Amino acid sequence: MKTLSVTFNPGLIDHHILIMTITGYCIVLISLAMLGYIFSRVHKLLDYLAGKRLKSGKPELLETNRKPVMTGEENAAIAAALFLFFSELHDEEKYVMTIKKVSKTYSPWNSKIYGILNHFKH
């Protein structure tokens, strides 16, 4: 069985390869720094543009095309329609569907007043 040995010989590295490598790393790091700066400043630009729209007296430009929030009943009706549609693709079977509105009871597991930091305050 023949073994393959891989060695690193720095003498075989050409100076053109080093220049391309360093240039590539610099381009990537500078690009990431610029994107980080742009993303950190976008909110100021949006606030400035919103202020200009308010001063121009056109508040309707600020409103976006938001979809209305769907209620639980609407979601249940859509789910039931999809269920019935996809169940028609299979054999006929008898199903009983019930939709119950479940009210959430109080649970201290997610309560903020029982946080860890409150136990250490004296």
Whether 96 is covered by a domain: the verdict is: no
Whether 52 is covered by a domain: the verdict is: yes
Is the model's pLDDT at 60 over the cut of 60? no
Whether 65 is covered by a domain: the verdict is: no
Whether 86 is covered by a domain: the verdict is: no
pLDDT of residue 93: 60
Distance CA 70, CA 99 (A): 16
Whether 72 is covered by a domain: the verdict is: no
The span from the first CA to the last CA of the chain, in angstroms, equals 72
Whether 71 is covered by a domain: the verdict is: no
Task: Give the pLDDT confidence of 1-19 residue by residue, as tens digits.
Answer: 678 888 888 888 888 999 9
Total number of domains in the chain: 1
Task: Give the pLDDT confidence of 84-108 residue by residue, as tens digits.
Answer: 888 776 656 666 777 777 666 666 6
Domain of residue 17, residue span: 13-58
Burial zone of 7 (CB within 10 Å; 0-12 exposed, 13-18 middle, 19+ buried): exposed
Catalogue the long-range contacts made by 110-115 (C-beta closer than 8 Å, 24 or more residues apart).
none
Whether 42 is covered by a domain: the verdict is: yes
Whether 93 is covered by a domain: the verdict is: no
